Amino acid sequence: MNIITKNDKKTFEATLRAKLGQGKVLLLVGPRQVGKTTLVKKLLANRSHLFLDGDDPTVRALLETANTQTLQQLIGSADLLFIDEAQRIPSIGLTLKIIADRFPSVQLIVSGSSSFDLKNSLSEPLTGRKWEYQLFPISWAEWEAHQGYLAAEQQLEHCMVYGMYPDLFNYPGNEKEVLKNLTESYLYRDLFALTNMRKPELLEKLLQALAFQLGNEVSLNELAQLLGIDKNTVASYIEVLKKGYVIFSLPSFCRNLRNEIKRNQKIYFYDNGIRNAVIGNLTPLANRTDTGALWENFMISERVKYNAYQGRWVQSYFWRTVAQQEVDYVEESNGHIRGYEFKWNPKAKIKIPKSFTSVYDSSVEAVHRSNFRSFVMPS
């Protein structure tokens, strides 16, 4: 079985197909090994195209110093050009601008595994010239579509511990080795290389600290004291991890109440397996003390995938007051506000803050083991 070839990103794939031939660069970003290359090749199947791999040193050398004449010779008669791992190519933004300006009939598709250099190099040269999309590890909707409802449900706890990277399902029984390779070869080595960090061990320690604080508010001052560095360095390292598609943050939601938390953030991991590998804990769910945090991370990361693939225009937050009233997750869409509380146990009681529901005219829904599908999947 190779689940990468069977991913069911129908809505997302249809969106990409609709953008072909509209005169803009298609930019697809996200972590390594989540299926970006496979998805693009599926889009280009049975269509004549030119594929250039940014990991190839010859390709990098050609595109780094390319001028119009060189590009003409390279592209030839191709009207579809796919450049993979574009962040590896110095000055790629200027090269893509030349192609977009001088070869308007060529549809450019570009993928990248890091937004460090890629977004910086593309932001100005390709202003108004690109459609940008993000790809993630396998979503629950894809997994259920592939496995079927019953089989997917039976593996929910496994997914909460080991995560949703495709290779975990391609090589069953080798989950620990797959996660080890992912963290060591991509998470650390690639991030360190791309950022030229002088003390990469600090990034590793920061990531472990964030993993242990999963679902809690993050204090830059406390992290700075823990690591023995200043809080500005902590903030810059957190930004590195965000741009490397390892973590993402939720800001606090505050509008009307004086005692609302206004500036803090919560940090989540795009994938549970990466988080657990970082702290070296792949213990089965039944023997863990952090099940609630894992469920919260799993649900919010799956909601991120759902919102992105469905093209939902929403703002995401958490809500808390200084009196410790809280709502785990808040979404605002078209002026409507909805809150969600995450409980692994369907029988667990939730406390719904009246100050939140009354001030914001909102409901708060419990998302638990028995009803989560409606939260992470299209109806």
Express each pLDDT in 222-253 by its tens digit: 999 999 999 998 898 898 888 888 999 999 98
- pLDDT score of 133: 85
pLDDT-derived band at 124 (thresholds 50, 70, 90) equals: low
CA-to-CA distance for 62 and 73, rounded, in angstroms?
Answer: 11
pLDDT-derived band at 5 (thresholds 50, 70, 90) equals: very low
- pLDDT score of 9: 58
pLDDT in tens, 339-370: 999 999 999 998 899 989 988 999 999 999 99
In a domain, 139, yes or no: no
- pLDDT score of 112: 81
pLDDT-derived band at 328 (thresholds 50, 70, 90) equals: very high
Judgement on whether residues 164 and 305 belong to the same structural domain of the protein:
yes
pLDDT in tens, 271-312: 999 999 999 999 999 999 999 999 999 999 999 999 988 888
Share of the chain above pLDDT 90, in %: 45
- pLDDT score of 223: 92
In a domain, 8, yes or no: yes
Judgement on whether residues 218 and 164 belong to the same structural domain of the protein:
yes
CA-to-CA distance for 73 and 309, rounded, in angstroms?
Answer: 37
pLDDT of residue 2 exceeding 70: no
In a domain, 141, yes or no: no
Higher pLDDT, 174 or 115: 174
Judgement on whether residues 47 and 171 belong to the same structural domain of the protein:
no
Q: Can you list the pairs that 146-152 forms with residues at least 24 positions away whose Cβ atoms lie under 8 Å?
A: 146/3, 146/6, 146/7, 146/8
pLDDT in tens, 13-60: 888 888 888 888 888 888 878 888 888 888 888 888 999 998 899 999
The DSSP code for 186 is I
The DSSP code for 183 is I
Judgement on whether residues 282 and 327 belong to the same structural domain of the protein:
yes
In a domain, 225, yes or no: yes
Model pTM? 0.87
Nearest in space to 353 (alpha carbons), one of 261, 286, 280: 261
pLDDT in tens, 72-105: 999 998 899 999 988 888 888 888 888 888 998 9
* Token output for 128: 């108004």
Judgement on whether residues 44 and 162 belong to the same structural domain of the protein:
no
Mean pLDDT of 245-264: 80
Mean pLDDT of 131-140: 89
From the number of C-beta atoms within 10 Å of its C-beta (0-12, 13-18, 19+), residue 369 rates as middle
Of 100, 134, 168, the domain-final residue: 134
From the number of C-beta atoms within 10 Å of its C-beta (0-12, 13-18, 19+), residue 324 rates as exposed
Q: How much helix, strand and coil, in percent to the nearest 5, is found in the chain? A: 45, 20, 35
Judgement on whether residues 119 and 256 belong to the same structural domain of the protein:
no
Mean pLDDT of 314-335: 91
Highest mean pLDDT among 109-113, 190-194, 343-347: 343-347
Nearest in space to 156 (alpha carbons), one of 334, 375, 370: 370
Q: Where are the alpha helices (DSSP H) in the chain?
A: 10-19, 36-43, 57-64, 68-75, 92-102, 116-123, 140-147, 149-154, 156-162, 166-170, 175-181, 189-195, 200-212, 220-227, 231-243, 272-278, 291-309, 354-359, 373-376
Average pLDDT along the chain: 86
Of 134, 164, 193, the domain-final residue: 134
| Count of structural domains within the chain | 2
In degrees, rounded to 5, the angle at the alpha carbon of residue 217 between the alpha carbons of residues 216 and 223 is 105
3-class secondary-structure state, position 265: strand
Question: 336 has which bridge partners?
Answer: 333
- pLDDT score of 16: 86
Judgement on whether residues 347 and 251 belong to the same structural domain of the protein:
yes
Higher pLDDT, 283 or 123: 283
Radius of gyration (Cα) for the chain, nearest Å?
22
Mean pLDDT of 160-177: 92
CA-to-CA distance for 340 and 59, rounded, in angstroms?
Answer: 48
- pLDDT score of 30: 83
CA-to-CA distance for 135 and 34, rounded, in angstroms?
Answer: 7
Judgement on whether residues 126 and 266 belong to the same structural domain of the protein:
no
Judgement on whether residues 124 and 167 belong to the same structural domain of the protein:
no
Judgement on whether residues 123 and 197 belong to the same structural domain of the protein:
no
Judgement on whether residues 112 and 54 belong to the same structural domain of the protein:
yes
CA-to-CA distance for 54 and 73, rounded, in angstroms?
Answer: 18
- pLDDT score of 8: 44
CA-to-CA distance for 328 and 49, rounded, in angstroms?
Answer: 46
Q: CB under 8 Å to 346, separation ≥6 — which residues?
A: 368, 369, 370, 371
Give the domain range for residue 286. Answer: 148-376
Residue whose entry in the numeric block shows the structure tokens 């991030």 = 191
Mean pLDDT of 311-334: 91
Of 134, 156, 179, the domain-final residue: 134
Q: Which CATH number fits the domain that encloses residue 120?
A: 3.40.50.300
CA-to-CA distance for 165 and 4, rounded, in angstroms?
Answer: 10
Judgement on whether residues 97 and 170 belong to the same structural domain of the protein:
no
- pLDDT score of 348: 93
Share of the chain above pLDDT 70, in %: 88
3-class secondary-structure state, position 379: coil
In a domain, 62, yes or no: yes
CA-to-CA distance for 302 and 300, rounded, in angstroms?
Answer: 5
In a domain, 313, yes or no: yes
pLDDT of residue 198 exceeding 90: no
Phi then psi for residue 346, to 5 deg, are: -60, -25
